[in-house]
Structure 1
């Protein structure tokens, strides 16, 4: 048996040992989906908070990425601008959660639109 074959079978055996992980994740997703249908307002509030935090983390990571790679990237300024914009949107959403729930769709829509335009 070759080294590659043993490596593949070893990977499969290790994967099979943890078969319950996708089952647990699936049960959590099903429970989350049921909770979303039962209480949509609370779910939307939680989603607004989750998006706010993810925008802040994404903005900080994009700013860091652009500054660390400015010698390697030709258009590093666009990455920096997008990171600053994402960070500002995240901070605005965290500052006022009531307004963020009402305007979350617009923030997400305009941010995605800006991303599409900036990379083409």
Structure 2
């Protein structure tokens, strides 16, 4: 089984479980150069908040956009924007990625920013 197919299979099972919970979803996309995070409504129809290393306010002061420091800054930014949109509780959708490295750094920074997983 190819690596991406396995990741998408894991993501599918996670999203079906999150759908049953009925809470907002914090979804993460990791690329080779950047990391993106979005908070969706419980039904997934609307994006409530988003942050990424592409945005200039997040990118400022970073040596690189593809390390743990950048992911942590995205986590803090998404927590701030989600709380401003009135979201306190989210379910963490790691999109099938393993919970380590940049994904873990983003999640821990979002928790420190006030989001409850």
Q: TM-score, normalised by structure 1?
A: 0.29
Larger helix percent: 1
Larger strand percent: 2
Q: Which protein shows a greater Rg?
A: 1
* Bigger relative contact order, structure 1 or 2 (CA pairs below 8 A, ≥6 apart): 2
Q: TM-score, normalised by structure 2?
A: 0.30
